[in-house]
Every structure is written in structure tokens, then in C-alpha cells.
């Protein structure tokens, strides 16, 4: 590979930043592997959940190799390919499945802004850093065996933590500030949008008028009230007048639908569709990705 006039300090800074970001992402995912696996299942069949430990494995290896500068150019090339692939997968989920949460930083994803375009901008910046590493002056490797041993230990640790967190009988402690699902907080936000009665049952459906997954589930959503499974069904959708008119023309909804801004929806949830059964002003059940028939709730 041809090098250009990018000096070693710049290369060192770029590879260190990339390595730390990859490792942070790997261990954050690993700490709540089950939640990340659930997110991956929104993209397709249940076996997609195997992607959780696989991605943790890849990111921990890439991060360690970049941080300790092992096979630096090849590691950076692999990093570029990885970033492009995951960006394309996320774009597919966003455009065709309505998945807005990238899950990039696992339990810390709640700190992310919710503006989906920032995910692509961030990945583009990381790709640029990796390209600078690729084009920099050659680097003479030292202590290769020691560094390789450290990489293996770091990767094994990340995979072990991920496997541990995916086993319900050995669940790692959750960090309360970064819970993937906080039903009490969600309920408080829903109360700002609708006056729920404590002695009634509700099915609340959070969706988008254009999301294909949301539309696929809508027939089942309407059946909750039709089958008397709940007292009332309420839809909460991202506001867009043109999309709303098209949706009403095609689906003829028989439920009340409240429209809110994308910003407000992001404050409630980072992924749609979500369906919630509410009893006594508390969320009793929650489904994401696809809403099943209300028949399962009928005794």
C-alpha cells in the first residue's frame, strides 16, 4: 500500500481513537447482549440474534488491534469494511423496517441524540480516520506476541461478558440510568398525551404512517378493541399530514390516533412499532417489531 505524507503521530492518534471507540462499543453491547440481540431480531428472523456475540467479537478484535497497532493497515482496512457494512444494514432497517435505534453503544444508546443522520455522520468520520491510518507511513511492529496475547484476552473477556448477559440465569447487573426499557418513565410520558383511566385497560400503539412493519401490524392492532381484549385502543404516530392522509385512505383506521412530532416520539422510544397493554395506569406487556394477534390475551 502506498503511503503519503501523514506522519506517525497523526496515525497514532487516529488508530488510538478508533481502537477505543470500537472497544467501548463492543463492551457496551456485551454488557446487555440480550437487549442488543432483541434489537437485531427486528431486522428479520429470530436467529438474527446470533449477530450480537458476532459483532461483539469483531469489534473487540478490531478495537484491540487498532489500539495496540497490530497489522495496522490491514486492521484499518477491516475497520472501513465493517463500518460500511453496518451502515448499510442500519440504512436498510431505517428505510424498510422503521428501526431508528442503531444500538451502537449498547446500554449507553439512551445518551445518543436520536437523530438518525448523526449515525451516518459518525460512521463517515470513523471511516476517514481509518483511511488516514491506512495511508500513513509504515509502522514497525514490536512486542507482537505480547500484544497478540492481550488482544486475545480482551476479545475473550468481551465475548464472555456478552454470553453471560444473554443467559437469564446469570444476568449482569443493569445500570439504572441506562435501562433499555423503563416502563414507569414511558408511562409518565404517555400520560402527557392521553388521560388514562385507572379502572380501564388500553392498548397503545406507537408507530409511523410510513413504516412497513407498522403497517403490517395494524390489522392486529385494531383487533384488540374489536375482540374486547381491552377497553380502548389508542394509536400514537409521528405527525406528517400527507402520509397520514394516505394511511387513512388505505387502512381506514377505527381507532383514535394521536400525532406527535418526531422529537417527542424519540423521547418516548427510539424504535417502532411498539405495542403496550396498559392496566391500572401501568404497562403490563410490551411488544416491539411486530404486534401479535390479541387472541393470545383472551382467556
**All 3 cell numbers of residue 7?**
506522519
- The reply to whether 3 falls in a domain is no
Domains contained in the chain, number = 2
Same domain, 225 and 275: yes
**All 3 cell numbers of residue 130?**
481509518
Q: Any idea which of 175-179, 191-195, 218-222, 292-296 has the lowest mean pLDDT?
A: 175-179
Same domain, 43 and 101: yes
Mean pLDDT of 75-104: 85
Same domain, 247 and 139: no
pLDDT of 112 strictly over 60? no
Of all helices (H) and strands (E), which one includes residue 247? helix 241-251
**What pLDDT score was predicted for residue 6?**
61
pLDDT of 162 strictly over 90? no
As a whole number, the mean pLDDT across the chain is: 81
Alpha-helical runs (H) found in the chain: 8-31, 33-41, 51-67, 72-92, 116-135, 144-165, 183-191, 212-226, 241-251, 262-268
Round to whole Å and give the CA distance between 144 and 147.
Answer: 5
Same domain, 192 and 221: yes
**What pLDDT score was predicted for residue 240?**
87
Same domain, 159 and 230: no
**All 3 cell numbers of residue 82?**
465493517
**All 3 cell numbers of residue 30?**
456485551
pLDDT band at 106; cut points 50, 70, 90: low
Of all helices (H) and strands (E), which one includes residue 7? none
Domain limits for position 214: 183-297
Query: Which residues lie across from 238 on neighbouring strands?
Result: 260
Round to whole Å and give the CA distance between 213 and 273.
Answer: 7
**What pLDDT score was predicted for residue 203?**
92
> What does the pLDDT look like over 24-65, one tens digit per residue?
999 988 887 777 887 787 777 777 778 888 999 999 999 999
Burial code (b: 16+ CB inside 10 Å, e: under 16) for 135-171 equals bbeebeeeeeeebeeebeebbeebbebbeebbeeeee
- The reply to whether 1 falls in a domain is no
pTM of the model: 0.56
> What does the pLDDT look like over 120-134, one tens digit per residue?
898 999 999 999 988
144 and 70 Cβ atoms separated by less than 8 Å: yes
Mean pLDDT of 69-77: 90
Of all helices (H) and strands (E), which one includes residue 174? none
- Quickly tell me which residue has 491506512 as its cell: 134
Round to whole Å and give the CA distance between 148 and 85.
Answer: 26
**Radius of gyration, alpha carbons of the chain:** 22
Last residue of one domain, picked from the residues 174, 200, 227: 174
Same domain, 138 and 221: no
The DSSP code for 107 is G
Same domain, 231 and 110: no
**What pLDDT score was predicted for residue 2?**
47
pLDDT of 7 strictly over 70? no
Q: Exposure of 275 by Cβ count < 10 A (0-12 exposed, 13-18 middle, 19+ buried)? A: buried
**What pLDDT score was predicted for residue 259?**
93
Contacts 24+ apart (CB under 8 A), 81-86: 82/58, 83/123, 83/126, 83/127, 83/130, 84/127, 86/55, 86/123
Same domain, 91 and 43: yes
pLDDT of 143 strictly over 80? no
Round to whole Å and give the CA distance between 257 and 240.
Answer: 12
Round to whole Å and give the CA distance between 131 and 123.
Answer: 12
* The most confident of 40-49, 69-78, 88-97, by mean pLDDT: 69-78
**What pLDDT score was predicted for residue 107?**
59
Same domain, 164 and 20: yes
**What pLDDT score was predicted for residue 23?**
93
Amino acid at each position: 500500500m502506498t503511503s503519503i505524507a501523514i506522519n506517525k503521530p497523526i496515525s497514532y492518534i487516529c488508530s488510538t481513537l478508533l481502537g477505543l471507540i470500537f472497544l467501548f462499543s463492543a463492551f457496551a453491547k456485551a454488557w446487555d447482549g440480550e437487549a442488543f440481540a432483541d434489537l437485531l431480531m427486528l431486522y428479520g428472523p429470530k436467529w438474527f440474534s446470533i449477530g450480537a456475540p458476532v459483532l461483539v467479537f469483531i469489534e473487540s478484535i478490531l478495537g484491540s488491534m487498532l489500539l495496540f497497532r497490530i497489522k495496522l493497515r490491514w486492521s484499518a482496512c477491516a475497520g472501513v469494511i465493517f463500518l460500511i457494512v453496518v451502515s448499510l444494514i442500519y440504512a436498510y432497517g431505517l428505510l424498510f423496517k422503521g428501526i431508528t435505534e442503531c444500538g451502537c453503544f449498547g446500554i449507553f444508546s439512551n445518551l445518543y441524540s436520536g437523530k438518525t443522520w448523526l449515525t451516518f455522520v459518525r460512521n463517515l468520520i470513523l471511516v476517514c480516520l481509518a483511511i488516514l491510518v491506512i495511508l500513513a507511513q509504515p509502522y514497525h511492529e514490536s512486542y507482537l506476541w505480547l500484544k497478540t496475547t492481550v488482544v486475545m484476552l480482551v476479545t475473550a473477556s468481551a465475548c464472555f461478558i456478552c454470553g453471560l448477559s444473554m443467559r437469564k440465569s446469570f444476568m449482569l447487573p443493569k445500570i439504572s440510568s441506562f435501562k433499555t426499557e423503563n416502563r414507569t418513565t414511558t408511562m409518565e410520558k404517555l400520560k402527557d398525551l392521553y388521560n388514562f383511566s385507572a379502572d380501564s385497560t388500553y392498548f397503545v400503539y406507537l408507530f409511523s404512517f410510513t413504516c412497513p412493519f407498522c403497517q403490517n401490524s395494524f390489522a392486529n392492532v385494531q383487533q384488540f378493541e374489536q375482540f374486547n381484549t381491552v377497553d380502548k385502543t389508542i394509536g400514537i404516530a409521528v405527525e406528517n399530514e400527507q402520509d397520514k392522509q394516505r394511511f387513512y385512505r388505505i387502512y381506514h383506521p377505527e381507532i383514535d390516533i394521536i400525532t406527535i412530532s418526531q422529537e417527542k416520539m424519540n423521547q418516548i422510544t427510539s424504535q417502532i412499532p411498539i405495542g403496550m397493554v396498559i392496566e391500572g395506569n401501568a404497562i403490563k406487556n410490551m411488544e416491539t417489531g411486530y404486534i401479535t394477534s390479541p387472541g393470545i390475551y383472551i382467556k
